[in-house]
Amino acid sequence: MKKLLMSTAIAALMAVPAFAQGEEPKHGGNMIVTYKDDVATLDPAIGYDWQNWSMIKSVFDGLMDYEPGTTVLRPGLAESYTLSDDGLTYTFKLRPGVKFHNGRAMTSEDVVYSINRVVNPATQSPGQGFFGMIEGFDAAAAGDADGLSGVTAPDANTVVINLSRPDATFLHIMALNFSFVVPKEVVEAEGADFGKKPVGTGAFQLTEWSLGQRLTFEKNPDYWISGVPYLDSFTVEVGQEPIVALLRVQNGEVDLPGDGIPPAKFVEVMSDPAQAALVVEGGQLHTGYVTMNVTAAPFDKVEVRRAVNMAINKDRIVQVINGRAVPATQPLPPTMPGYTKDYAGYAYDPEAAKKLLADAGYADGFETELFVMNTDPNPRIAQAIQQDLQAIGIDAAIKSLAQANVIEAGGAGTAPMIWSGGMAWIADFPDPANFYGPILGCGGAVEGGWNWAKYCNEALDTKAADADSIVDPAKGDERLKMWSDIYMAVMEDAPWAPVFNEQRFTMKSARLGGDDALFVDPVSIPVNYDYVFIKE
């Protein structure tokens, strides 16, 4: 027996409330977005920075998608899907009549090609590792097999994906940019230049790219969601310093500064009611934390790690960054499913921290090093942490280095403590599993891994695998509870001191319309281009 999990009709019903309270969207107009850096690539298999992430979402589509402004999954290029009872076989029915920007009809062969392409080592995709649950992954990823044995296209409208283990995050993976569908003939014709000349099925198509100057995206008139997008076009102007972009917003020349409000101008903007009215604030799937290397003294003692958690005055650190964050109690950010609401975290208590240190045999404290990325505000935050640690007798020398060097030291396990700012984990997809494996699981605690605390708790790894094998949506809450328990156990072991969750502050011009949720969309940063509109 197979069960139909979700269909377009249900998704369409769910889409309505998101806009019910907003104003009526208008069609037409051009929006101008600015960025400091040129866009690296628009190839969905390659692009992996927060700048190109949402542009790629507008040019391409995957089998799955999210309700705009939310973390709720909905079908995308797949009209519907079914899951076998053993949780191992997904069968996707493709939406009929979907065309690439070059006019060719999209088929199941394209889906198969696109997923195989990401896993193929020759593509050098940073997303390869996300597909590990698909049958035949190891052989394909090593280049020993021609594609994934688990991904097949029985007919032009059907894609069948067999997994080697049940995985509750699989549908999120199908909504990741790395799963987006590309036309084989164009990719093969353009080769490595496909990232500069992308062709997809998305709401917008790239019509002009002047390197270092601007990218112009125009509405796809044949987009498969009727009435979307609202804008005729949007222009991304690159090479604009954030501070210059802000001046241009104030001058009415720019609709959305992609790099946000420059920190030096934040207080000024927020204290001017006219400008503050243009800012939308929201949570984001981010946590800033201090890692402690649990494999070496003194942080091999759990008392010491708990003491550090109690020593850090999070409220003061939030003040250091002008209140652009909320204090964190646990690894998961508050907007992430599975967040434990009633957990207060380690309270700020230097006296208790000192006592814990004494219990661990460090009554006189110790010397250590705190690695930090060298761009503002991270060194200032590290100094605040340094002072807090000083108060309980820990003498932490600050090692302020370029981002790549801190990541290198973290991966090599040579950094006793790291403040994660500027390199911190921002979720790839809105699921609690994404905050565990690479950064807290044993798999990441290897040379070059992102688990900088080198924390490896086999029991928790097993529990994580158990949680992710629950694929029945009806048991979703049970699964989230298991994840919540996992993060509570992590806090007990305290390999991290979670410090804050950054808030997002998106500035937009007064003429830009759309629900506030779109401007703090958890998966599209800075904005979901497909659903915003120009009011006038």
Partner 1 sequence: MPAYILRRLIQSALILLGVSFITFVLLYILPADPVRQIAGRSATAETVASIRSQLGLDKPFIVQYGTYLWNLLGGDLGRSYLQKTEVGTLLVSRLPATLLLMVAAIFCELLIGLTLGMIAALYRGRPLDNALMLGSFVSVSAPQFVVALLLLYVFAVKLGWFPIGGYGTFAHLVLPALTLGILGSGWYSRIMRSSMLDVLRADFIRTARAKGLNRTRVILAHALPNAILPVIAMVGIDIGMFMSGIVVVESVFGWPGIGQLAWQAIQRVDIPIIMGVTLVSACAIVIGNLLADLIAPLIDPRIRLR
Q: What is the binding site for partner 1 (CB under 8 A)?
A: 36-38, 40-41, 43, 46, 48, 121-122, 124-130, 141-143, 192-193, 195-196, 210-213, 237-241, 243-244, 247-248, 250-251, 253, 402, 404-405, 407-409, 411, 428, 438, 446-448, 450
Least distance (Å) between residue 119 CB and partner 1: 10
- Please state the closest distance from residue 238 (CB atom) to partner 1, in A: 8
CB of 492 to partner 1, least distance (A): 26
Half-sphere exposure in the Cβ direction for 368 (13 Å, CA): 26
CB of 448 vs partner 1, minimal distance in Å? 6
Strands, DSSP E only, in 344-486? 366-373, 394-401, 417-419
Is the Cβ of residue 37 or residue 461 nearer to partner 1 in the bound state?
Answer: 37
Of 100 and 209, CB closest to partner 1 = 209
Q: How far is the CB of 210 from partner 1 (least distance, A)?
A: 7
Sheet holding 3-7, edge to edge: 3-7, 78-83, 89-94, 158-162, 151-155
Cα separation, 14 vs 85, in Å, equals: 26
Least distance between partner 1 and beta carbon 31 (Å): 17
d(CA 452, CA 438): 10
Q: What burial letters (b/e) apply to 35-65, b meaning 16+ CB within 10 Å?
A: bbebbebbbbbbbbeebbbbbbbbbbbbbbb
Q: Which is nearer to partner 1, 128 or 329 (CB)?
A: 128
439: amino acid identity, one letter:
I
Angle at 231 between CA 226 and CA 232, to 5 degrees: 95
Closest distance of CB 11 from partner 1, Å: 28
Query: Number of C-alpha atoms within 13 angstroms, CB side, residue 530?
Result: 28
Token pair, residue 246, equals: 């802000």
Residue closer to partner 1 by CB (options 105, 189) is 189
Choice between 240 and 484, CB closer to partner 1 = 240
Q: Is 461 exposed, middle or buried (0-12, 13-18, 19+ CB in 10 A)?
A: middle
Angle at 390 (CA atoms; ends 388, 392), nearest 5 degrees: 85
In terms of CB distance, is 128 or 528 closer to partner 1? 128
CB-nearer residue toward partner 1: 363 or 404 = 404
Query: What is the smallest separation between the CB atom of 48 and partner 1, expressed in angstroms?
Result: 5
Q: Helix or strand or coil: residue 186?
A: helix
Q: 16 and 68 in contact (C-beta within 8 Å)?
A: no
How near is the Cβ of 86 to partner 1 at its closest, in Å?
26
Residue closer to partner 1 by CB (options 135, 237) is 237
Q: Is 450 or 496 the residue whose CB approaches partner 1 more closely? A: 450
DSSP states of 298-346 as a string? TTTSHHHHHHHHHH--HHHHHHHTTT-EEE-SSSS-TTSTT--TT---S
The residue (of 319 and 414) whose beta carbon lies closer to partner 1 is 414
Structure tokens at 483: 């994840």
Q: How far is the CB of 135 from partner 1 (least distance, A)?
A: 17
